[in-house]
Structure 1
Amino acid sequence: MAPTTGIHVSPNNRLSRGQARFSGQIDEWVLATEQRLTAVMRESARRTIEVMQTPVSEGGNMPIDTGFLRASLTVVINGKPPQALRVSDGQKHMYNASAIVLEIAKFNAGDRLVAGYTANYALHVEYGARGREGRGFTRLAAQQWSQIVRDVTAEAKARVAARAAR
């Protein structure tokens, strides 16, 4: 069976897509406490997945026909990436972001998070096949990891500073 396509966030704050690795921009402030690190990692993972799942019609790279590919997203904490086994039944499918957010809430500093697609054609849509150009929806989201981590870190620092100023 072909493996799924998706992203992996490892305990050392690196996001990988296949063989590529993208270092996060975690600074000393975030590393000072496990609570900060966990919060930044959870939110960064959530936002990266959000980018991955953004439909073409909304400026993203996720093509939507029946919604099956988008709805096949699975998040696994400290487990193996899901295998791409599911075949579309041709019916309309809805993506449930709440289920993904609930799974990400279990992600802690030191854990490994894998977000992957179980639709059997996910790799073809990602990389292209049969003369069709790939959409690169996971690769393009992964390339934004460092910036997402920097943004989330800056927002967390601002919230802490605002609370301290009260």
Structure 2
Amino acid sequence: MTQNFAASVKNWTEKAKRNVDVIVKQSAQDVARQMTQPKDGLVRGAPFETGVVPVDEGQLIGSVIVQVGGTLTGQGNAASAQPPDYASALAGFETGDTIIVGFTAPYAPMIEYGWSFGADDTNEGTGDVDVPGRFMVRQAVQNWQAIVDANAGRFKD
């Protein structure tokens, strides 16, 4: 009886460890997909939309990289305006590894947070232009807990 109980606990523990890896991998993929959700045709004069990557020529979405444990494991393709294959890039993840998904285009922070340019910073009709941020990364990261909870819900016995 004790061997059966011990074996049962061991099996449960191993399953839980596997499930954690699967949940984290899937959740990281889901957040990465959300933060790189493209919106084709966002050019000057198009309606403004937060939470999406503006895709005019594809350089921004193609600049996405994935690192697992400090090693580059995935890279987007600017020529085809495609982010990396997240499933492949995260395949080597193990519990305890750090996952980094980010934009490497030099103008990515301006798209995320917004920027101002013009004659001065007073916004008094002197030709200043304030461009609001898209917040595609921030909005996706804010969904992390809900995404993890949804993925963990798939493993409830």
Q: Which has the higher contact order (CA 8 A, sep 6+)?
A: 1
**1:94 alignment partner in structure 2:** 81
| TM-score in terms of structure 1 length | 0.64
Q: 2 CA distance for matches of 1:30 and 1:153?
A: 16
- Once superposed, which parts of structure 1, at least 4 consecutive aligned residues long, lie more than 4 Å away? 29-32
Contact 1:30 1:37 in 2 (8 A): no
Superposition deviation, residue 79 in structure 1 = 1.4
Tell me the amino acid that sits aligned with residue 136 of structure 2.
Answer: F
Structure-2 separation of matches of 1:122 and 1:114: 15
Q: 2:65 is paired with a residue of what secondary structure?
A: strand
Alignment of 1:1-166 (within 5 A): 33-56=16-39, 60-79=51-70, 92-98=79-85, 100-130=86-116, 131-157=130-156, 161=157
Q: Deviations over 1:96-132 (max 9, x none)?
A: 442x321111111111000011111000000001221
The aligned amino acid for 1:147 is A
CA distance in structure 2 between the aligned counterparts of 1:61 and 1:103, rounded to whole angstroms: 22
TM-score, with structure 2 as normaliser: 0.67
Question: Max radius of gyration: which structure?
Answer: 2
Equivalences, count: 119
In structure 1, runs of 5+ residues without a counterpart are: 1-28, 82-90, 162-166
% same residue: 29
Which secondary structure state, in structure 2, belongs to the residue aligned with residue 76 of structure 1? strand
